[in-house]
Structure 1
């Protein structure tokens, strides 16, 4: 069984995108003290591939509960 991943997303222009995502009002009885401004994710994946001249960073993907 995996652990829950807590993400905090801060945009350069938007600011704190994940603000309030983990509050009781947002997720009900799933909220956790200290994680009120974070997003719950069940899976987090990313990849790095070699190009022969360096690395290519692939997109970050996460799966969150419904």
Structure 2
């Protein structure tokens, strides 16, 4: 079961990237828990072996490269 669905159904709270919860927040189905001190910046780094030629990995890597600022 998806975490936001579990939170909506009363199973507790969940941590989600705000971008993944935008629609739920806008519709009022989810609300932020706690104050601003509960929010955290998150930086994600991706690594892969240079010799990895798996086609699925190569496609994923190309899609990640498109989003690099």
Higher relative CO (CA 8 A, sep ≥ 6), structure 1 or 2?
A: 1
How high is the TM-score relative to the length of structure 2?
0.23
Say which structure is richer in strand.
1
How high is the TM-score relative to the length of structure 1?
0.23
Structure with larger Rg: 2
